[in-house]
Amino acid sequence: MILFDNMESVLPDAEVKNPDTPDSLKRLMQAVATILNGSRDPALADDPALHYADAAEILFLIERLGK
């Protein structure tokens, strides 16, 4: 079952289309949507567009959900 098929499902439409929304936030929300759909692939944190702290949070989330 797919809960969120894209970042538009997670972020308000205005934020997705807003050119001022940082690419790192859009990439973070895409990774979160992928995790919510069941992926536990640590490679989601390897995106160079992610802020270092966001990548760490993705890995932490994956670790906690895996248990």
Residues 8-56 pLDDT 10s: 555 566 666 788 888 898 899 889 989 988 999 999 999 999 999 999 9
37 touches 7 (CB < 8 A): no
Q: What is the pLDDT of residue 61?
A: 96
Give the integer Cα–Cα distance in Å for 46 and 30. Answer: 13
Q: What is the pLDDT of residue 67?
A: 64
The residue type found at 3 is L
Global pTM? Answer: 0.74
56 touches 44 (CB < 8 A): no
Q: How far is CA 25 from the centre of its chain?
A: 8
Q: What is the pLDDT of residue 29?
A: 87
